[in-house]
Structure 1
Amino acid sequence: MFAFGQRRARRRASLTPMIDVVFLLLVFFMLASRFGSEAGLTLAVANPGQGAAWSGPPRLVEIAEGGALWLNGVPLAPDALAGALAGLMQGPGDAVVLRARDGAEVQDLVSVAEALHAAGLTRLMLVQAP
């Protein structure tokens, strides 16, 4: 038989490099993540058959593809929406119903809701189109 020399003791794997990598990943994800609260819109979702009877004039804002708007079935320019709604409302706490038509994107709905919120309207309700 061949003699290759003395057998060396097997080295155990060191955990130090793995701990270093885990620590670096931890620091990376802590620095890359956001810890602030996200801005959001508060919408009330209308459930069929629930809630009180409607009071006051109708305030239905329909949003179509491309951001086209209708207020109570009448076409309206987006910049004139807040002014047109002001004549139908007694105060900023009155409900405004938002409904997306076929082809409308979520961003169109969000843009209208943000514009109404910026105009001081606080009670926006979202309904599903029939």
Structure 2
Amino acid sequence: MFAFDTPRKPRRPSLTPMIDVVFLLLVFFMLAARFGADAGLTLSIGAGSGNEWQGPPRLVSVTVDGLLLNGVAQTPETLIAALDDLTDSRADPVVLRAEGGADVQALVDALALLSTAGFTGLLVAE
């Protein structure tokens, strides 16, 4: 039997590429993970209680240009003040409607505004 070369010791595989991949996966999952609870709006789904409407109309229209209360343009601050004048308590129903090409985000922003102000009787209409 011929020996053309001296036998070498087998090379051990390098772990550096595997460590790099694990590090990149760790960074990816840390950046992609969500920490904390998601914020949300509580909406009740279903028909009303069957009672008749009490008090003046409270229709908040969300448009591309802004907010309207019963057809009158309002800023967020004046909307809350005007709704306080129209309601006996913050649990009274307030109807919200998106119109004039307003997007869903504008409607959600209006819901969040009124919810943060303490209004709990929010109704969404088509």
TM-score, normalised relative to structure 1 = 0.67
Rounded Cα–Cα distance in structure 2 between residues aligned with 1:15 and 1:89: 73
Which residue of the other structure, out of 79, 84, 87, is the alignment partner of 2:85?
87
Q: Any idea what SS the aligned residue of 1:121 has?
A: coil
Q: Which residue of 2 aligns with 1:62?
A: 61
Rounded Cα–Cα distance in structure 1 between residues aligned with 2:14 and 2:58: 66
Which residue of the other structure, out of 47, 51, 64, is the alignment partner of 2:48?
51
Q: Which residue identity is paired with 1:98?
A: L
Q: Is the counterpart of residue 37 in structure 1 residue 34 in structure 2? A: no
Q: Any idea what SS the aligned residue of 2:65 has?
A: helix
TM-score, normalised relative to structure 2 = 0.69
Rounded Cα–Cα distance in structure 1 between residues aligned with 2:115 and 2:48: 23
Rounded Cα–Cα distance in structure 2 between residues aligned with 1:96 and 1:15: 67
Contact 1:42 1:124 in 2 (8 A): no
**CA shift at 1:123, angstroms?**
2.9
Q: Is the counterpart of residue 102 in structure 1 residue 79 in structure 2? A: no
**Would the alpha carbon gap of residues 93 and 24 (structure 1) be closer, same or farther in structure 2, given more than 3 Å must change?**
same
Q: What do you get for the CA RMSD once the two structures are aligned?
A: 3.2
**Would the alpha carbon gap of residues 121 and 27 (structure 1) be closer, same or farther in structure 2, given more than 3 Å must change?**
same
